Structure 1
Amino acid sequence: MRDGLEDAPAEIVRPKLSYPFEVGPASGEAVDIAPGVKWLRMPLGGALAAINVWAIREGEGWAIVDTGMGGVATRDAWRAAFQGPLEGLPVTRVFVTHMHPDHIGMAGWLTRKFDCELWITRLEFVTCRSLALDTGRDAPEVAVRFYRACGWDEDAIDQYKAKFGGFGRGLHVLPDSFRRLNDGDRVRIGDHEWEVVVGCGHSPEHASLWCPDLKLMISGDQVLPKISSNVSVFPTEPEADPLTDWLTSLSAIKARVPDEVLVLPAHNEPFHGLHARLDHLIAGHERSLRRLAAELAEPRRVIDVFHVLFRRTIGPELLGLATGESLAHLNCLRRRGLAVRERDADGIDWYRAAA
């Protein structure tokens, strides 16, 4: 969910991050971040108007990190970029931080157009291909039971069924092969070495790229300055505990990547203040877990705890995200031994504090 949907007590102060670039690039333009590193934006529409993508000079071409959502608008923005700031030079390879369509959506188009390779972690590639296969399918009964157990009514279930299988619509046809990125790999891109930093929770095996020489970290959705990445449980793995994975990943990044880096996020603007932001994200989720544990003095369904975690009223457009993130917090409390779950005769799950 977007940062700010969670209640913030007065004693929690948002960290003071610094933003060295006052203005971001317009569509088809670029901003120079460091020697050989350019910041571009691709259109998204909706609440998040654009995604940041990055071009790293590599010989007589550009290595691209993240690609934007599949579609005509993004294709046209890339064409304008190649005619303008990218100087008509080819793409040498495409790096993708993770499998969400706004990041990998145009990877197939770019790799085929320039006959180059996709570099991505294995779990992100395989998961993306699996979800893309759902395009055009009917919603499986196990998923319908999953959302009924969370407390969804029949209108919500019908909307879910109508929208199911939409993931692949945001993708150009994926490449048929990839080069695997592993945590800790050191990959030379152009004149500098970049280290792969894997995190989990927002997606299965998210790869950020850290360059010690340039003091840069391309963080994807792993660390964002003004919004908090969605951490959700889905019907494909109902017992998952992605919030524990997420919190563990954030702590590991703080121990590994120095605070001095300029963070290049997928959304909002590049910023300084990595460690403060990591501390703020961790503290916010721990605060939410404490409030949620107190709420479970009486049995609650998943849909009954939205007001504990989010400031705004959750309407149909946010129901799926809010349900997934609420369940992630409930599963985390269960793993910590602070909550238990019981299913009633109607197949509805009720959560209460552990005795």
Structure 2
Amino acid sequence: MPQTNLSYPMEAPAAGHWREVCKGVYWLRQPMPMALNHINVWLLEDGDGLALVDTGPRTEETVEIWTRLLSAPPFNRKLTRVFVTHMHPDHVGMAGWLTRRFGVRLWMSRLEYLSCRVTVSDMNREAPKDAVDYFHEAGWPDAAIEKYRARFGAFGKMIYTLPDSFQRLSHGQNIRIGEGDWRVVIGRGHSPEHACLYNEKDKLLISGDQVLPRISSNVSVHPLEPAANPMADWMESLDWLEKNIPDDVLVMPAHDECFHGLHARLSHLRESQHKSFDRLREVLSQQPMRVVDTFAALFSRPIDASSTHFHLATGEAQACLNYLLERGEISRTLKDGVAWYAGST
């Protein structure tokens, strides 16, 4: 059910088009070839040029849209710099193309930049044994693992080659962009070191994927760090945002519409996650389960091995399990290479 205590003060632009949010701040929408069919990106007046926040995915359509928009008023000016909130392809996919085209610097948090470079380096290599073992432990069938092997390394194909240097974004850093002061707010859980931008004077928060109005951000464990606890990072980030960012900001998210009601949204996300933990505790108290067996308790629709969401569901279920495991609320046993989870007695 959609959350009703949020307000949406303006309509979104159509894909490939833009609208002005307020003086010197522009909202552009780039299309994406998937079920989540768009990403919002932002252009900010920066002296006689424009600073860009997030880029859209690497596709021929995105290249055509950027070429058209940046050659016609009001955007036919130089880009001054490219900010990227985090490493996922819809946010960073065009960063290399844009920074080279305009000869400008990429601004990104250190962990996001380095994590992106590491993941891109998986192109043209076979799926490592550690990753195959990770999905076998989760209970994946052989056919799903073979599909993963065939797909492995595709991440890099969705991203233009990143520049070989960058300007680091750090939590609490103040950046002057045009006539506005923007503070870097780092969140974690959805990605390693996600950078939001907060303009206190104009009451604006560019939230990337850290806060979305209609969907919850995926919080996943990945084969690179199978014992990670990103869900704890996620919950801590929600608490920090509620304590430190005022409720009256206009939240400018990466997906769906700009909205008012930050604190209500944060509370809803937190409460929804705790309900998921409760359902998980309940089913694990009844019988041991593999990661893939927990999907029915965690997700509102059926997800089987043929689903396009199977990979994401595995990562998020593992994140929930690792959260409870680290708190000592459940146990983990490895049998014939498969992990089984049960409520602690």
TM-score interval (norm. to shorter)? over 0.9
Could you say which residue in structure 2 is the equivalent of 1:65? Answer: 53
Over 3 Å counting, the alpha-carbon distance change for 1:214 and 1:85 in structure 2 is farther
Quick one: which of 203, 215, 227 aligns to 1:215? 203
What is the rounded CA distance, in whole Å, between the counterparts of 2:3 and 2:232 in structure 1?
22
Could you say which residue in structure 2 is the equivalent of 1:160? Answer: 148
- The answer to whether the Cα contact below 8 Å between 1:29 and 1:84 also exists between their aligned partners in 2 is no
Could you say which residue in structure 1 is the equivalent of 2:340? Answer: 350
Over 3 Å counting, the alpha-carbon distance change for 1:117 and 1:219 in structure 2 is same
Aligned 1:240-319 pairs, distance under 5 A: 240-297=228-285, 298-315=287-304, 316=306, 317-319=308-310
Normalized against structure 2, the TM-score is what?
A: 0.97
Could you say which residue in structure 2 is the equivalent of 1:324? Answer: 315
Q: Where does the alignment leave 5 or more consecutive residues of structure 2 unmatched?
A: none
- The answer to whether the Cα contact below 8 Å between 1:147 and 1:157 also exists between their aligned partners in 2 is yes
- The answer to whether the Cα contact below 8 Å between 1:232 and 1:321 also exists between their aligned partners in 2 is yes
SS at match of 1:83: coil
Identity level (%): 50
Pair 1:14-2:3 in alignment:
yes
- The answer to whether the Cα contact below 8 Å between 1:28 and 1:80 also exists between their aligned partners in 2 is no
Q: Which residue type is aligned with residue 313 of structure 2? A: A
- The answer to whether the Cα contact below 8 Å between 2:15 and 2:38 also exists between their aligned partners in 1 is no
Q: Which residue type is aligned with residue 229 of structure 1? A: S
What is the rounded CA distance, in whole Å, between the counterparts of 2:75 and 2:89 in structure 1?
26
Quick one: which of 172, 189, 197 aligns to 1:184? 172
SS at match of 2:259: coil
Could you say which residue in structure 2 is the equivalent of 1:339? Answer: 330
Pair 1:87-2:75 in alignment:
yes
Answer with 264-273 or 28-37: which moved more: 28-37
How much has 1:26 moved relative to structure 2?
Answer: 2.4
Q: Deviations over 1:216-240 (max 9, x none)?
A: 0000000000011100011100000
What is the rounded CA distance, in whole Å, between the counterparts of 2:331 and 2:156 in structure 1?
36
Could you say which residue in structure 1 is the equivalent of 2:99? Answer: 111
Q: Deviations over 1:134-183 (max 9, x none)?
A: 01211001111111111111111111101110100110111110000100
Q: Deviations over 1:260-313 (max 9, x none)?
A: 000000000000000000000011011100110111121110011100011111
The alignment covers a number of residue pairs equal to 342
What is the rounded CA distance, in whole Å, between the counterparts of 1:45 and 1:136 in structure 2?
23
How much has 1:29 moved relative to structure 2?
Answer: 2.5
How much has 1:336 moved relative to structure 2?
Answer: 1.3
Higher RCO, Cα 8 Å, sep 6+: 1
- The answer to whether the Cα contact below 8 Å between 2:16 and 2:31 also exists between their aligned partners in 1 is no
Q: Which residue type is aligned with residue 296 of structure 2? A: H
Q: Which residue type is aligned with residue 204 of structure 2? A: L
- The answer to whether the Cα contact below 8 Å between 1:293 and 1:353 also exists between their aligned partners in 2 is yes
Aligned 1:12-161 pairs, distance under 5 A: 14-22=3-11, 24-161=12-149
Q: Where does the alignment leave 5 or more consecutive residues of structure 1 unmatched?
A: 5-12
Answer with 79-88 or 253-262: which moved more: 79-88
What is the rounded CA distance, in whole Å, between the counterparts of 1:86 and 1:149 in structure 2?
53
- Aligned CA-pair RMSD: 1.1
How much has 1:85 moved relative to structure 2?
Answer: 4.6
Pair 1:200-2:200 in alignment:
no
How much has 1:319 moved relative to structure 2?
Answer: 1.0
How much has 1:30 moved relative to structure 2?
Answer: 1.4
Q: Which residue type is aligned with residue 325 of structure 1? A: E
How much has 1:335 moved relative to structure 2?
Answer: 1.2
Could you say which residue in structure 2 is the equivalent of 1:10? Answer: none
What is the rounded CA distance, in whole Å, between the counterparts of 2:33 and 2:16 in structure 1?
16
Answer with 79-88 or 158-167: which moved more: 79-88
SS at match of 1:54: strand
How much has 1:43 moved relative to structure 2?
Answer: 1.4
What is the rounded CA distance, in whole Å, between the counterparts of 2:200 and 2:301 in structure 1?
40
- The answer to whether the Cα contact below 8 Å between 1:70 and 1:102 also exists between their aligned partners in 2 is yes
- The answer to whether the Cα contact below 8 Å between 1:40 and 1:53 also exists between their aligned partners in 2 is yes
- The answer to whether the Cα contact below 8 Å between 1:71 and 1:172 also exists between their aligned partners in 2 is no
